[in-house]
A and B are shown apart, each in its own frame.
Chain A
Amino acid sequence: MSNEWPLWEVFVRGQHGLAHRHVGSLHAPDAELALNNARDVYTRRNEGVSLWVVKSTDITASAPGDKEPLFEPSNAKVYRHPSFFDIPDEVGHM
């Protein structure tokens, strides 16, 4: 039972010009087979032009409980959004 294949996270680039997007995970003994399996499991209908696989244990994730301290500082800086500033119509498109 200790021989369970490790878990890999799968990322697919849907079309040229788009970023890779996480689609799910799978088990495989090594990276090469993880890529082969990812093709069969996640791109049976032409869903992608490129695949990434990353060992799940190599991903560091933020903790759900840290949501406030992590994102609150950016929430407070509304002036980072262009809509914060009123520009008179006469100025035209900006």
Chain B
Amino acid sequence: MYAQMVKSTGEGVKSLEEMEPQERAFQERINADVKIEPKEWMPEGYRKTLIRQISQHAHSEIVGQLPEGNWITRAPTLERKMILLAKVQDEAGHGLYLYCAAETLGVSRDEMTEQLLSGKAKYSSIFNYPTLTWADIGAIGWLVDGAAIMNQVPLQRCSFGPYSRAMIRICKEESFHQRQGYDIMMKLVKGTPEQKEMAQDALNRWWWPSLMMFGPSDTDSVHSAQSMAWGIKQNSNDELRQKFVDQTVPQAEYLGLNVPDPDLKWNDERKSYDFGEVDWNEFYEVLKGNGPCNAERMAARRKAWDDGAWFREGLMAHARKKETRKMAAE
């Protein structure tokens, strides 16, 4: 999931009877599947939770360009390079749709950027892993975008209108990303033994971090319960992770690759795969900033922001000057 462990109020879900009339009317609209729009009344907790989640989601799209950007100049063919460029450009676009959705809640773009650069706001743990070979680009499209789709499809029904609409646009575009990744994997497994080995190695390294994308089990989380009551979240993390495993294992089998989990086994009773425990220690370490690439990613974002300052300011100064001249002429 691109937004992991989003905290809400932490106060637990109120029943309708406990609510003041205004909040009760709001909750009843959500229960009736009526979308909430930016200027309407909403509880402060709802607003804050959404800002946290949408901005975290947006930051993930933006930081997510970095691991793939690494391979644009090294893509094996011109066609692959053009496709990867288009994909990375899409990620930038997705970040922008989401920032705009968050801005309708009263937070500014600069505030969100500040929060990312200061480390106050998080982005998905997955982007703190390195892309060592071309097969990693295949594995990211297939697994990381696959996990993202699993998470984003239900978010299209989110109770907040602008977020829901951004998700609809994003989901339309995302399936290209997953398919291009799988296409790279298919090509590699049909290639030389070394190329197939490369694909297996990428799967080995990306499998577990992809499962971590859904976040730790949230069955007992007050934050999750509140987000579900507000219609921000529709499924538990474990539910989505299970769906992802069930969908992905047959795809790995088709490729003739082994999923790196000795406990993975079809459970005929549940009609689902049983699978091993994720190393949550690793997850928390990466989230805390101790993943293999955290420092590199943040340094890249800070450099882009600092190096672009003269450009942003220059264009703004030019726009103001043009405006003044126009006024003077009128």
A residues adjacent to B (C-beta < 8 A): 1, 3-5, 7, 24-27, 29-30, 33, 40-41, 44-45, 61, 63-64
B89 and A30 form a contact (CB under 8 A) = no
Indicate if B319 sits at the interface (CB-CB under 8 A): yes
Q: Shortest beta-carbon distance, B103 to chain A, in Å?
A: 7
Return the contact of A41 from the options B40, B96, B108, B315 (Cβ within 8 A). Answer: B96
A24 and B313 form a contact (CB under 8 A) = no
**Whole-angstrom CA separation of A71 from B147 in the bound complex:** 43
Indicate if B284 sits at the interface (CB-CB under 8 A): no
A selection of 29 A-B contacts at a CB cut-off of 8 Å is A3-B312, A3-B316, A4-B108, A4-B109, A5-B312, A5-B316, A7-B100, A7-B103, A24-B100, A24-B166, A27-B109, A29-B312, A29-B315, A29-B318, A29-B319, A30-B318, A30-B322, A30-B323, A33-B315, A40-B89, A41-B93, A41-B96, A44-B86, A44-B89, A44-B90, A44-B93, A64-B37, A64-B39, A64-B40
B313 and A3 form a contact (CB under 8 A) = yes
**Could you tell me which residues of chain B, from 25 to 77, have a CB within 8 Å of some CB in chain A?**
37, 39-41
Give the interface size class of chain B.
Answer: 20 to 34
Told that A5-B315, A64-B41 touch, could you supply 17 new A-B pairs with CB distance under 8 A? A3-B312, A3-B316, A5-B312, A5-B316, A24-B97, A26-B96, A26-B100, A29-B315, A30-B315, A30-B318, A30-B322, A33-B315, A40-B89, A41-B93, A44-B90, A44-B93, A64-B39
Indicate if B277 sits at the interface (CB-CB under 8 A): no
Indicate if B173 sits at the interface (CB-CB under 8 A): yes
A63 and B93 form a contact (CB under 8 A) = no
Contacts of B323 in A (CB 8 A): 30
**Whole-angstrom CA separation of A25 from B110 in the bound complex:** 15
Q: Top 9 nearest A-B pairs by Cβ distance?
A: A30-B319, A29-B315, A29-B319, A64-B40, A25-B100, A4-B110, A29-B316, A3-B316, A3-B313
Q: Shortest beta-carbon distance, A48 to chain B, in Å?
A: 13
Contacts of A29 in B (CB 8 A): 312, 315-316, 318-319
Return the contact of A45 from the options B108, B173, B318 (Cβ within 8 A). Answer: B173
* Contact flags B248-282 to A (C-beta < 8 A → 1, else 0): 00000000000000000000000000000000000
Contacts of A61 in B (CB 8 A): 39
**Whole-angstrom CA separation of A64 from B42 in the bound complex:** 12
Q: Shortest beta-carbon distance, B168 to chain A, in Å?
A: 11
**Could you tell me which residues of chain B, from 294 to 330, have a CB within 8 Å of some CB in chain A?**
312-313, 315-316, 318-319, 322-323
**Whole-angstrom CA separation of A61 from B313 in the bound complex:** 30
Nearest neighbor of B165 in chain A, beta-carbon distance? A24
Contacts of B173 in A (CB 8 A): 44-45
**Whole-angstrom CA separation of A7 from B89 in the bound complex:** 21
Contacts of B166 in A (CB 8 A): 24
Q: Shortest beta-carbon distance, A61 to chain B, in Å?
A: 7
Contacts of A4 in B (CB 8 A): 108-110
Contacts of A7 in B (CB 8 A): 100, 103
A63 and B316 form a contact (CB under 8 A) = no
Return the contact of A40 from the options B40, B93, B108, B319 (Cβ within 8 A). Answer: B93
**Whole-angstrom CA separation of A3 from B108 in the bound complex:** 12
Q: Shortest beta-carbon distance, A14 to chain B, in Å?
A: 13
**Whole-angstrom CA separation of A65 from B294 in the bound complex:** 45
Contacts of B97 in A (CB 8 A): 24, 41
Nearest neighbor of A4 in chain B, beta-carbon distance? B110
Contacts of B169 in A (CB 8 A): 24
Q: Shortest beta-carbon distance, B199 to chain A, in Å?
A: 29
**Whole-angstrom CA separation of A44 from B108 in the bound complex:** 25
Q: Shortest beta-carbon distance, B92 to chain A, in Å?
A: 8
Contacts of A41 in B (CB 8 A): 93, 96-97
Q: Shortest beta-carbon distance, A40 to chain B, in Å?
A: 7
